[in-house]
Chains A and B, each alone.
Chain A
Amino acid sequence: MRRSFSLLILFAILVYVFLYAPVIVLMIFSFSTNKTQVLPIQGFTLDWYRKMVSDPTLRETLTNSIIVSSLTAAVSTPLGLSGAYAVVRYSFKGRNIVLGSVLIPLIMPFLVTGIMLINFFGLVKLALSLWTGIVGEVLITVPFVFLICMAGLLGFDRTVEEASMDLGANSLTTFFRITLPIIKSAVIASAVFSFVSSFNEFYVAYFTLGQINTLTIWTWAQWFMGVGQDLNAASTTIVLTLLAIGILLTKRIRIEEIVG
């Protein structure tokens, strides 16, 4: 008992090391004077951060990333939530088709998703823009929202909804006054998840956003031209900022509430 307990914890520590080693290495190099990312570290400097702050491209791409991810979360959360509500609370003709269809983008290779979308936009003569990009990002995040909200909706006692209806509230009132507050954690979690995954996502964004550079697309372009140190500094700063926001958010959501 005791032995397996500590072995598992040791294993988990190793997994965290695996997950964080690359991030930590990036952070360390962002403060170094090294021209290339090779050890040993020659000295420490804040030059890369200064460069980053004065670099308009980086600010622009970061802004773009935040705009794209926020809009994606803002569209895909209500879209997935309403779909999940219909599927969980009602049985209707075509219910299984809706359930199956919404999960297809999940199992589609993202490269194929991106390519089929630009083919489609090209055919209907829709110029690639922020909006086509949002369509692409919503398409790949909506299954996650759907699944998380479905978990939330399946996880609570629906007799409280019926009680509200019996007491004379209509379904809209019941949804906003009873259901939504109960599954609040799941809704917040799906919004956060949409934001994070479209922030991280490369393939679909690369194909569908046209001329708009997000951080991920921009780093890919940088990589072609030979990556600079400012890149590390940039990502480090972003991670730290978002880490702080994330930790703040944990006070608002409890993971057990979403899945339990």
Chain B
Amino acid sequence: MSRRRSKRIHPYLISLPLVIFLIVALYSPVLVLVRFSLAVKPGWEQTLSYVWSIVNYQRFFFDPDLDAYRVSLLKTLGVALLVTLICLMIGYPFAYFLARKTLRFKTLLTLLCLFPYLTGYIIRIYAWRILLGSGGVINYALQSIGLIKEPITALLYSPFSVIIVLVYLYLPTFTFPIYISLEKLRADLVEAAEDLGADRIRTFFRVTLPLTSPGILVGGLIVFPAITASYVEASMVGGGELRMMFGSVIQSIFFISYDFAMGSAASAVLLAIVITACMLLIRAVRIEDIFKVR
């Protein structure tokens, strides 16, 4: 035993590159963000004055002139929640299909979900304009079979288009962790439940769903935060109530007003909300559990 131990490389040495990388690329920038958010931008100058002040946060939450920020934040969180739920409704059965019904085409069918990613983020949004536009594919098809006379303009530049595009962008990301946890689920547990007389629906809700919930959680942890700060979709296909997401607000504070202090404060608020939500969820389950055979 002691012989074996002495030959082992110390775990600190193995994880050292990763730890250094995280200190440089994650923790330092987060500290800088927090420090900026507590600084003040004096007048029209672009440089910050490095005092310690919570004025940016006060303004963010209470300044009546900044109502738009708070409304946009709430709307964005709502959209993110809605899109995550839709992804769950579609992603779970789809993951179930990939795990259970694909047989020897499993690898191919699973990889097929990844290929659309290769066209790039912007192109994937852009393609939906062709599908949803008033001269677009869907309207054209509906018109040519005589279902509608005038093109449905509400398909594009509306909350509907933002939501459908977001679901499109994040569905595969959500599906994979669920797929993994379904693969990890031992078939004999399901069989045992069925042998003991539970019907399929009961088995699903009492055995399969609870045991695969870590996969759902991880999917949600990846998709929800990503949506809260996405602004490109809304500016390309958005309209009506969803002309602008909170990401656009942050972006405009930084690169239109050049107020890095306020921008950092807005980013920090978003980050705090997202991380708190994730921490509350994570407490319910251990990350390692999704990979354990159950």
Contact = CB atoms under 8 A, between A and B. Distances in A.
A binds B: yes
A120 B200 CA distance: 54
A193 B15 CA distance: 21
Given A8-B97, A171-B9, A220-B232, A26 B123 contact: yes
B288 A154 contact: yes
Interface in A26-78: 26, 29, 36-40, 78
Contacts of A162: 4
Nearest to B97: A12
A253 interface: yes
Interface string A202-217: 1100000000000110
Nearest to B167: A18
B78 interface: no
Interface in B107-144: 107-108, 110-124, 126-131, 133, 135-137, 140
A88 B179 CA distance: 22
Interface string B167-187: 010011000000110011000
A101 B264 contact: no
Contacts of B11: 86, 89-90, 92, 95
A85 B26 contact: no
A33 B178 CA distance: 43
Q: Is chain A's interface secondary structure helix, strand, loop, or mixed overall?
A: helix
B121 A201 contact: yes
Contacts of A15: 90, 94, 171
A254 B222 CA distance: 24
Given A19-B172, A202-B232, A108 B225 contact: yes
Contact of A110 (B7, B133, B140, B226): B226
B122 to A, nearest CB: 4
Interface stretch (B28-36, B53-61, B62-70): B28-36
Nearest to A253: B107
A151 interface: yes
A115 B263 contact: yes
A98 interface: yes
Residue of A116, A138, A151, A250 with highest tally of chain B CB at under 10 A: A116
A104 interface: yes
A150 B221 contact: no
A34 B238 CA distance: 25
A250 B118 contact: no
Contacts, number: 277
B206 interface: no
Contact of B115 (A82, A165, A242): A242
B126 A219 contact: yes
A136 B25 CA distance: 8
B134 to A, nearest CB: 9
A255 B106 contact: yes
Given A150-B288, A239-B118, A39 B136 contact: yes
Contacts of B12: 86, 92
Interface in A104-162: 104-112, 115-117, 119-120, 123, 135-136, 138-139, 142, 147, 150-151, 154-155, 162
Given A23-B119, A119-B36, A38 B136 contact: yes
A257 to B, nearest CB: 9
Interface string A193-237: 000110111110000000000011001100100010001000100
Residue of A8, A117, A259, A260 with highest tally of chain B CB at under 10 A: A259
B130 A111 contact: no
Given A39-B136, A154-B288, A250 B111 contact: yes
Contacts of B90: 15
29 contacts: A8-B93, A12-B94, A19-B112, A23-B115, A26-B119, A26-B130, A37-B130, A79-B17, A83-B18, A83-B19, A98-B18, A107-B221, A108-B225, A108-B271, A111-B250, A117-B25, A119-B29, A119-B32, A119-B36, A120-B33, A123-B32, A150-B291, A165-B4, A171-B9, A200-B117, A216-B120, A231-B123, A246-B115, A255-B106
Interface of B: 4, 7-9, 11-12, 14-15, 17-19, 21-22, 24-30, 32-33, 36, 90, 93-94, 96-98, 101, 106-108, 110-124, 126-131, 133, 135-137, 140, 168, 171-172, 179-180, 183-184, 200, 218, 221-222, 225-226, 228-232, 236, 247, 250-251, 254, 260, 263-264, 267, 270-271, 274-275, 278, 287-288, 290-292
Given A111-B247, A119-B29, 9 more contacts: A8-B96, A9-B101, A22-B124, A79-B18, A106-B222, A107-B221, A109-B247, A150-B291, A255-B107
